[in-house]
Amino acid sequence: MRAALSVIIPTLDAAPVLPACLSALIEGLEAGMIREVIVSDGGSSDATQAIADAAGAQVVTGPPSRGGQLRRGAQAAQGAWLLVLHADTVLPEGWTRAARAQMRADGPAAFRLSFDQTGVMPALVAGWANLRSRVFGLPYGDQGLLISRDIYEAAGGYADIPLMEDVALARSIRGRIALMPLAVTTGADRYARAGWLRRGARNLGTLARYLCGADPDRLAARYKR
């Protein structure tokens, strides 16, 4: 019987962080849990595709758009379950046990969030993300998403939008995303460069505007500025 889990990783110039993300998947390969790893690249100009190819991942390419990349990755996947990870997200030791338990429960789930930096602000931002996920059922993509193919397709899959594709899918699932007991570790470089308070406030403002009906393309253009 073929393994059930397809791992999908959207990338764009992710060479510095992708090896750690891929290395954490070895646990799943050794457990016979992973059917395939799909790297959905948006046109990287660095060694991202070469790293993915060397690791034995399937590489699919297309225009850079997080939602579009994830949609293409899911279309290429053959597993009954999908695990969606950001390239700078590293799964914790023991993640296969947590994922198997959730798959037996037959419901979608995300991991708790932690950062690769310590201190008050990383703890506060991660704490808010975990609270938002638990209370409102709105995890972000950097927490990983484990979802069955059936539920993914019933929800319409990822929308081909450049921003908030994770929230759009979560809303389609209507708050049914559980929070697993283990925490992934994600990169804090963007927060450190922009400032924890500033980036946190910008993320919250972007979420509020999206939930109020703002156009994702306009939000993405403003977010990049």
Q: In the 3-class helix/strand/coil scheme, how is 109-166 assigned residue by residue? A: EEEEEEECCCCHHHHHHHHHHHHHHHHHCCCCHHHCEEEEHHHHHHCCCCCCCCCCHH
Mean pLDDT estimate for the chain: 94
Indicate if the pLDDT at residue 174 is higher than 90. no
Q: Is 111:183 a contact under the CB 8 Å cutoff?
A: yes
- Identify the CATH assignment for 5-224 out of 3.90.550.10, 3.40.720.10, 3.50.50.60, 3.40.50.150: 3.90.550.10
Indicate if the pLDDT at residue 74 is higher than 90. yes
Task: Report residue 3's pLDDT band, with 50, 70 and 90 as the boundaries.
Answer: confident
CA-based end-to-end distance of the chain: 48
- Counting every residue written for the chain, the total comes to 225
For the chain, the farthest-separated pair of C-alpha atoms sits apart, in whole angstroms, at 49
Q: Is 145:217 a contact under the CB 8 Å cutoff?
A: no
What is the tens place of the pLDDT at every residue in 18-42?
999 999 999 999 999 999 999 999 9
Task: Report residue 117's pLDDT band, with 50, 70 and 90 as the boundaries.
Answer: very high
What is the tens place of the pLDDT at every residue in 36-51?
999 999 999 999 999 9
Q: How far apart are CA 113 and CA 127, in angstroms?
A: 8
For residues 91-118, give the mean pLDDT: 96
For residues 118-143, give the mean pLDDT: 93
For residues 74-82, give the mean pLDDT: 98
Indicate if the pLDDT at residue 225 is higher than 80. no
- Residue 37 host element (H or E): strand 34-41
Q: Which residues contact 215 (CB under 8 A, 6 or more apart)?
A: none
Q: How far apart are CA 126 and CA 129, in angstroms?
A: 5
